[in-house]
Structure 1
Amino acid sequence: MAIEGPLRELGIHDVFQLLDLSRKTGALRVTSEMRDDEGYVLFEGGKVIHASVQSNPTSIERILRQAGKLSDADMAAALAVPAPQGLGLGDRLVQAGIVSQKEMERHLHQAIESVVFELMSWREGFFSFEECAVSDVPIDAKIRISTESLLMEGARRIDEWSRIADKVPSLSAIPDLAPVEDDRASVLDLLPHEWEVLMMIDGQRDLRGIAGSLGRSEFEIAKIAYGLVTTG
């Protein structure tokens, strides 16, 4: 039996909690007319194994390319390695030695966290959960993440995001360097991770793109950007 309803009656946090406590296996779809977007989350025994939004699809190929960890040659090499039928791209990349299992899982974990965080910010829309065998759903790679830990992290991020949103309105914001007046020039005293972000600012990449290029979580990059803006 499907579990469905409007988000104004049952928020996404409560939906996730319900699926976690009842150890559900299946697919959750969340749609938002206001955003013209749709989220898709796969659960297995109450754990999250995949999450994506239509506007920013979670694909292991896309994630690794953004992080500079995957080239066309790497893709060709991975696909050339004989593999059992149904083996996902992520597992093929690990099998071919292109990326380690640990690194692949780290990137996937960050991507899923970002999706859940975004879905938790949706206040309007409609959700629908259908029980199904997740083995029937083709996904790049499989990872099991505690739903409870995702909800706790999501709640923490929402609280913190409310603090930084006045200076960093969204992940699609494109940071740029402010002009420096000669009489106000000074030496920058930044931490290594702040220098990393600063060096990626080119007036073209948005915060989401910078996060992908550095292989860091989008929320972490937003926090660093907030710190840079605050300190001037």
Structure 2
Amino acid sequence: MPIEGPLKELGIHDVFQLLDLSRKSGVLKVFSQERENEGAVYFDSGAVVAATMKSNPHLLGTLLENSGKVTAADLAQATAMQRAGDKRRVGEILVANGIVAARDIDRYMRQQIETVVFDLMSWSEGFFSFAEEPPRPIRKDTAVKVSTESLLMEGARRIDEWSRMMDRVPDGAVVPKLAPLSGGPQSFIDLLPREWEVLSLLDGESNLRHIAIELAISEFDVARIIYGMLTTGLIELVPRTETVASA
């Protein structure tokens, strides 16, 4: 019998804890009509082995390419092999071809899982369902199992940190924009590369959630950057009345 219900009755943290304690294997699907999004998390004996998000899948290949570990040609070759009938995952093919080391696959698969799971843990509305099924066989040198307990602990820490930012960044629907230039002397802007990427997408129309999707990073990471820029006065938020009127 599947485990399912609305998140308002059983929070996503409780769902993860239940699957961890009962050492379940299968797939947890979470759908949010409000967000027009859905995610899937795959469990093997209570541990998380894979995760994906519809609007922001954080694909392993994209993470590897962005980090410079592989080229577009490497990924094209791996996906071509899959289309030709190869049942292995992209990471398995890349390791077998000697393009990346197994430890790199492990690192970025963990990053992929964590980013999706932490985004899901911020959802307070929606519907979840879990269906038991045997875990998919994966080569041992490319298999990743992330402790659900560690994900819950880090997820709780992130939620606590976001709660301290809620006075300025209440949710992913906020729309940031550049603040008007002051009449005084202009100061030098010193930002990290990721902060510049966020800043370049501030058009007064895209909300935090859309920026996260565009950059393929978590809403939490974008929220922290926006909060910092709000604190320094570099940006401001479009009033909610304006965003509703333009919707």
CA–CA separation in structure 1 for the residues paired with 2:152 and 2:167: 24
**Correspondence for 2:135:** 134
Q: What CA RMSD, in Å, does the superposition of the two structures yield over aligned residues?
A: 3.4
How far the C-alpha of 1:22 sits from its partner, in A, is 0.9
- CA change 1:207–1:68 in 2 (3 A) is farther
Aligned pairs for 1:184-203 within 5 A: 184-188=185-189, 190=190, 194-200=191-197, 201-203=199-201
Deviation track 1:123-172 (CA, whole Å, cap 9, x = no partner) reads 232222111112179xxx64210001111111111111122244445568
Name the aligned partner's letter for residue 34 of structure 1: E
Please say which of residues 145-154 and 48-57 is displaced more in the overlay. 48-57
Instruction: Report if aligned partners of 2:114, 2:151 keep a CA contact under 8 Å in 1.
Output: yes
Q: Is the 8 A contact 2:52 2:58 kept in 1?
A: yes
Instruction: Tell me the secondary structure at the aligned position of residue 200 of structure 2.
Output: coil
Q: What is the identity, as a one-letter code, of the residue corresponding to 1:202? A: S
Aligned partner letter, 2:96: Q
> In 2 relative to 1, CA 5–183 (structure 1 residues): closer, same or farther, beyond 3 Å?
closer
Per the TM alignment, residue 21 of structure 1 is displaced from its structure 2 partner at its CA by 0.7
What does residue range 153-164 of structure 1 map to in structure 2 within 5 Å?
153-164=154-165
Q: 1:128 to 1:209 in 2, by over 3 A?
A: closer
Runs of 5+ consecutive residues of structure 2 not aligned to the other structure = 234-247
Q: 1:79 to 1:5 in 2, by over 3 A?
A: closer
TM-score (norm: length of structure 2)? 0.72
Paired with 1:97 and 1:169, the residues of 2 have a C-alpha distance of 45
Identical positions, percent? 48
Which residue in the other structure is 1:231 paired with? Answer: 232
Aligned residues: 222
User: Counterpart of 2:53 in structure 1: which amino acid?
Assistant: V
1:5 aligned partner: 5
Look up the SS of the partner of 2:112 in the other structure.
Answer: helix
Q: Describe the SS at the equivalent of 1:135.
A: coil
Summarize the alignment of residues 13-162 of structure 1 with structure 2, pairs less than 5 Å apart.
13-67=13-67, 69-78=69-78, 85-135=86-136, 142-162=143-163
Partner of 1:208: 212
| SS of 2:103 mapped into structure 1 | helix
* Larger CA deviation: 1-10 vs 170-179: 170-179
Q: Distance in 1 between the 2:214 and 2:100 partners?
A: 20
Q: Deviations over 1:196-218 (max 9, x none)?
A: 23443323696426854xxx766
Cα deviation, residue 46, structure 1: 0.4
Q: Write out per-residue CA displacement over residues 32-87 of structure 1, whole angstroms, 9 at most, x where no aligned residue.
A: 233232221100010001112222224212333455554331224446889x9532
For the structure 1 residues 107 and 175, does the alpha-carbon distance in structure 2 shift closer, same or farther, using more than 3 Å as the test? farther
Q: Distance in 2 between matches of 1:149 and 1:34?
A: 28
Aligned to 1:35, the other structure's residue is in SS state coil
Instruction: Quote the offset at 1:99 in angstroms.
Output: 3.3
